[in-house]
Structure 1
Amino acid sequence: MSEAESARRSRRRQMSKDERRAEIIRVAADLFEKLGYARASMDDIATAVGIGKPTLYHYFRSKSELLWYMHEELIDGLIESHLARVERGTEPAELLRGVIGDFLRNIATRRGQCRVFFENHRELPDADLAVATDKRARYEAMVEDVIRDGIAAGTFREVDTKLFCLAIFGMSNWAYQWYHPDGKLTYDEIADAFWDYAYRGLRP
């Protein structure tokens, strides 16, 4: 065994269960980005993580359970980040800017996970898909409320709140298809540009 492999195994033995789960999710997400969710197998994931398949099954019973954890981590993070800003009394314009920033940050730091979030969530088992769909609808409703509140306050002009919400999501989400960390703009700069485009369209 090489010194590097020995060090990696030693570090892994010191990980908590949550840390190990997080590592598996990260590696699996990168593999899904490379091979596609449908093509990547649990064998592939175990090999990429550097653990035996029985160990992998100790943490995740199936590939669909891995997909479920990836989805939950992202949607829960989006909801929690948004609610934290709401609780601080953030104005509608900055709330909407935060929504765009959250999407771009996730795409920059969790590209593979975002890909399966956007492309593969419908492959979840029916019971999990129902929960996932409900959470996505809840988050969409929160963003619609921001637009509605901005209109009521006179910050935004009258628009179809659902249509504008979908436009924001489409513009921000699609970035996972083309964003590269070594590109001309950082994800923060892209988020600022997207916000500028959106806000110009919303100004009274």
Structure 2
Amino acid sequence: MSVLPNQPKTLATPGVRGRKRRAQIMDIAARLFEDRGYHETSMEAIADAVGVRKASLYYYFTSKDDLLVEIHQEMIDLILDKQRERVAAGELPPSQMLLAIMTDLISLMESHPGHLRIFFEHFRELPTEIQHEIAGKRNEYREMLITVLDDGREAGEFAVDDSFLTAMLILGMCNWTYQWFDPAGRVSAETLAKLFYRQSVEGFGTAALRAQLN
């Protein structure tokens, strides 16, 4: 039985149905990449899993590399857009902004299973110009986190000596969950993010902020 309905469309197809179909193909491809390996997964294997002929798959993605690029772009744009919206709204204090960032990162394991391993382990397979673009977006996201930490220090919430190193520690802690976190396990992504946040605040939060944990 086909995983997806076999209704031919083209890359230029407008509307919600075309976007949903592309998203479904990306999700299936990401799972195959994670299970079998990127280099070991062919376009034919992806087409079989989707339930379409390989020629039909090319209506949506011109190559396996095209899929890889789309997966990377989707992941980084998703978390960037969420944080940009929070910054523009200007409603959250730095401490809650930090919790939101940590929740975003870990929740990707629930919303996009398989995608994170591709994002972190197959960056070098991207075309050079796309590598530069993704690296720039990663740097932008890291700078957003550094700003949150700096703002927290100024607001009297964080006692952070080096915002860059602290940001790298937080990103490493959250990003590495793709290696071991099971979204179907005993804790949810939101619960795990709150645990990470609590441990972080107990490490570099001020006495006033730590008191709010009790």
Is TM more than 0.5 here?
yes
Residues of 1 paired with 2:89 and 2:195: CA distance?
Answer: 24
- What TM-score do you get using the length of structure 2 for normalisation? 0.87
Residues of 1 paired with 2:204 and 2:86: CA distance?
Answer: 20
Quote the offset at 1:182 in angstroms. 2.7
1:129 to 128, 131, 134: 131
Residues of 2 paired with 1:201 and 1:24: CA distance?
Answer: 42
Query: Is 1:188 aligned to residue 190 of structure 2?
Result: yes
| Residue 47 of structure 2: aligned partner | 46
Quote the offset at 1:167 in angstroms. 0.7
- Amino acid of the structure 2 residue aligned with 1:48: A
Alignment of 1:106-125 (within 5 A): 106-125=108-127
| Residue 181 of structure 2: aligned partner | 179
Q: Give the helix-richer structure, 1 or 2.
A: 1
Q: 1:52 to 1:13 in 2, by over 3 A?
A: closer
Alignment of 1:42-191 (within 5 A): 42-89=43-90, 90-191=92-193
Unaligned runs of 5+ residues in structure 1 are none
Superposed CA offset, 1:20-50 (max 9, x none): 1111101001111111112111111111111
Quote the offset at 1:60 in angstroms. 0.9
Q: Is the 8 A contact 2:109 2:183 kept in 1?
A: no
Residues of 2 paired with 1:68 and 1:194: CA distance?
Answer: 30
| Residue 9 of structure 1: aligned partner | 5
Q: Is the 8 A contact 1:33 1:111 kept in 2?
A: no
Residues of 2 paired with 1:125 and 1:77: CA distance?
Answer: 21
- Amino acid of the structure 2 residue aligned with 1:166: M
Residues of 1 paired with 2:179 and 2:112: CA distance?
Answer: 13
Q: Is the 8 A contact 2:47 2:54 kept in 1?
A: yes
Quote the offset at 1:202 in angstroms. 1.8
Superposed CA offset, 1:55-95 (max 9, x none): 11121111111111111111111011111122222111111
Number of residue equivalences: 199
Q: Is the 8 A contact 2:28 2:46 kept in 1?
A: yes
Residues of 1 paired with 2:161 and 2:53: CA distance?
Answer: 54
Residues of 1 paired with 2:94 and 2:143: CA distance?
Answer: 14
**Is the partner of 2:40 in helix, strand or coil?**
coil
- Amino acid of the structure 2 residue aligned with 1:136: R
Q: Is the 8 A contact 2:34 2:114 kept in 1?
A: yes
RMSD: 1.8
- Amino acid of the structure 2 residue aligned with 1:27: I
Q: Is the 8 A contact 1:108 1:179 kept in 2?
A: no
